[in-house]
Chain A
Amino acid sequence: MSYCVNCGVELDASHKSCPLCNTPVINPKQLEQLIAVPPFPSEKGQVELVKRKDAALLLSVVLLSTAVTCGLLNVFVYKASLWSLSIIGACCVLWVFMIPLVIYTKLSAYASLLLDGVVVCAYLFMLTWLTKQNTWFWGIALPITILVTVLAEIMTFLLRRFRFSFLVTATVSFAEIAVLCVGIELVLNRYLHQRFFLSWSGIVLTICSIITIALITILSKKRLRNAVRRRLHF
């Protein structure tokens, strides 16, 4: 039988600290804790998720029928070019995007983001085949898609690593905006002017860096962090 020295309440024999104030239980007479049956089970229940079969089916049917109709129209009516490929491709991309949302919800976030990136790349590559010209793909589309995919993966990782909070989200977002803008400008300049240099994204980079550094300072100082949370929570 142990009491919390701070609250004065008797504690269940299985508890090693007081649930009310987290003060550890130290009983000098009872250093060897008796093995007591905990008052609550330790197994955590999992909520059964309803599979959104209806939504998945509906969306699949809509996309499939759009693709098929366009394909048929292309083959039999407007035969001038292979225009339907772009629409069929877009349908495929949309379908892959919704896999983690409605079709296979257990897919890990990283895998689904990677899949999204790959599909977008494939779609863009198919468009180069339609436009009969592929320098823009290798020069702009592919690097930017890869950059966005990588940033999305990093964002997911960071947000899962640290407990979700407004401040962490803001920090990560500002840092990523800076990287994204710099990346896009570098790629564009390389493509248009054949060399690397920074102009407008330099400004974005400066502003975002200042904000990010300020946020990291706030995050690392507990007192500051609490003050900001108190004032800005919503």
Chain B
Amino acid sequence: MPSKRPPLSEKRPKKDWYKLDLSAIVYPTLQRRDFSAVYRLSVTLKAPVDPELLQRAVDIAMKRFPTYKVAIRKGLFWRYLEPNRRPGPYVRPDIKNPCMPMGFQTNNRYLVRFYYYENRISMEAHHCLGDGTGGMCVLQTVTAVYLELQGCFITKKYFVRDVNEEPSPGELEDAYMRYADAGVHPPRVHEKAYRVRGTKEPFYTLNIINGTLSSAETKQVAKKYGVTVTEYFNAVLLYALLQKQEKEWHLRLRPVKIAMPVNLRRFFPSETLRNFITMVYPGIDPRLGAYTFEEIVTQTHNFMRYYINEKFLRGDITTNAATQRNPLIRVVPLFLKDFIVSRFYAAIQDKNSSAGLTNMGLCQVPEDMKPHIERFDIYMGQPFSSRTNCAIITYEDTLTINFASSIIEADVERLFFRKLVQDGIHVKIASNRESV
């Protein structure tokens, strides 16, 4: 990151369109009137947010991120991103139902939204622009500019970018294509996983249940089981889902699986701000017998060790890229691709997991920004089908867990947090639900 870049004055000719990256291709095809793949990142400051100052910060910072200041357009064969020179995006007061569907033509065609509420700044972005790591760069840079407008000085480090610098080509690259070079495309196994049943909430309602934990306390508990925090949370969620399935009426049991994105930047060096993640599916098959929690922990731990390494992930990326590289698929018109991809997603990909879980891990913040920041929250957004998504991030000692679901019942969340309490972790709960 700290490489020498040409200053603003000697500009290269600006790119006037961007191809969607490998995983971004899927998200727009899932777009429905009541669904968009939108995620949310929030930062809570120690003082109330000044909307006017925030708007100025957004205006300044967005220019630094050309792949976020874009509109999405349709080509004959693929969609593409086009720089958006319309006014905006505008900051607005926060709303009760985060991650609302995002129409491609609305909001001046911007695919990002900024909100403020009390001390909190929230950013929502469509997943076709980039993943959580990319989004976090935008949010932290906006926050840094906001704090600088208030008169502080912030070091440009970790997620914070210098707004006076030109973005490096590496930030805009589709990193998948660079690493999709394995000699074999390992096949994917798809098996219908258990689906959480529940009463659907009306249109546009997203239920959030937020848990705040001490990171040190959690680490200690995970250590007691001999696993990492991510593995521990995966095991707890699997445990909750298994109990839920057990209690429900069922003809036969199904495997319980979690869709977990892995940040590929950990294994393949890239500074891209666009998508660079892949999914792994840790799971437990209750048809093999009743698992104790300890067994689930071990199983999850072994799964992660086995699958999450540079070699396996490279194979996975190559399999993904193979479809996009296939010349026969390339010449199929976009509307047919949309039709096939959305069917495939609804029929196979979506049914392949019972819930989603992501752990962004420790969120690094420049030392001089720390005094202004209380906590971070991330939300995986509206699930494609009725289930619950869980997103975790840690800042200093504050570990936040946010469940987002579009069903009324909170059984999975209850079983999840109760297990944490049983293991001796202090949990604080907050929610946007109607009845509370």
Q: Which A positions have Cβ atoms within 8 angstroms of B?
A: 4, 7-12, 14-22, 37, 39-50, 230-231, 233
**A43 cross-chain contacts in B, Cβ below 8 A:** 93-96
The interface stretch among B258-266, B274-282, B391-399, B411-419 is B411-419
**A22 cross-chain contacts in B, Cβ below 8 A:** 435
* CB < 8 Å neighbour of B209 from A10, A20, A45: A20
A47, B103: Cα distance in complex, Å = 8
Q: Which B positions have Cβ atoms within 8 angstroms of A?
A: 93-97, 100-101, 103, 105-107, 117-118, 197, 204, 208-211, 249, 410, 413-414, 417-418, 421, 426-433, 435-436
* CB < 8 Å neighbour of A19 from B100, B107, B249, B433: B433
Judging by beta carbons under 8 Å apart, are B429 and A44 in contact?
Answer: no
A43, B208: Cα distance in complex, Å = 15
Q: Contacts A41-B94, A43-B93: A19 and B429 contacting too (C-beta < 8 A)?
A: yes
Judging by beta carbons under 8 Å apart, are A19 and B431 in contact?
Answer: yes
B365 CB to closest chain A CB (Å) equals: 22
Judging by beta carbons under 8 Å apart, are B100 and A7 in contact?
Answer: no
B160 CB to closest chain A CB (Å) equals: 26
B283 CB to closest chain A CB (Å) equals: 24
B186 CB to closest chain A CB (Å) equals: 34
Question: What residue in chain A is nearest B428 (Cβ atoms)?
Answer: A10
Judging by beta carbons under 8 Å apart, are A12 and B428 in contact?
Answer: yes
A20, B428: Cα distance in complex, Å = 12
Judging by beta carbons under 8 Å apart, are B421 and A9 in contact?
Answer: yes
26 A/B residue pairs, CB under 8 Å, sorted by A:
A4-B429, A7-B418, A7-B429, A9-B417, A9-B428, A9-B429, A10-B429, A11-B428, A11-B430, A12-B429, A12-B430, A19-B433, A19-B436, A20-B410, A20-B417, A21-B414, A39-B431, A40-B94, A40-B117, A41-B94, A41-B95, A43-B93, A45-B97, A47-B101, A50-B105, A50-B106
Q: Contacts A7-B414, A21-B414, A233-B197: A40 and B105 contacting too (C-beta < 8 A)?
A: no
Judging by beta carbons under 8 Å apart, are B435 and A50 in contact?
Answer: no
Judging by beta carbons under 8 Å apart, are B95 and A7 in contact?
Answer: no
Judging by beta carbons under 8 Å apart, are B421 and A39 in contact?
Answer: no
Judging by beta carbons under 8 Å apart, are A47 and B418 in contact?
Answer: no
A50, B211: Cα distance in complex, Å = 36
Question: What residue in chain A is nearest B36 (Cβ atoms)?
Answer: A47
A18, B435: Cα distance in complex, Å = 9
Judging by beta carbons under 8 Å apart, are A20 and B429 in contact?
Answer: yes
A157 CB to closest chain B CB (Å) equals: 17
B336 CB to closest chain A CB (Å) equals: 21
User: Which of A11, A47, A231, A233: most chain B CB closer than 10 A?
Assistant: A47
Judging by beta carbons under 8 Å apart, are B427 and A10 in contact?
Answer: yes
**A44 cross-chain contacts in B, Cβ below 8 A:** 95-97, 204
**A19 cross-chain contacts in B, Cβ below 8 A:** 209, 410, 413, 429-431, 433, 435-436
Judging by beta carbons under 8 Å apart, are A17 and B103 in contact?
Answer: no
A14, B432: Cα distance in complex, Å = 11
Judging by beta carbons under 8 Å apart, are A48 and B106 in contact?
Answer: yes
* CB < 8 Å neighbour of B431 from A40, A42, A45, A47: A40
Q: Contacts A7-B421, A45-B97: A40 and B430 contacting too (C-beta < 8 A)?
A: yes
User: Which of A15, A39, A49: most chain B CB closer than 10 A?
Assistant: A39
A21 CB to closest chain B CB (Å) equals: 6
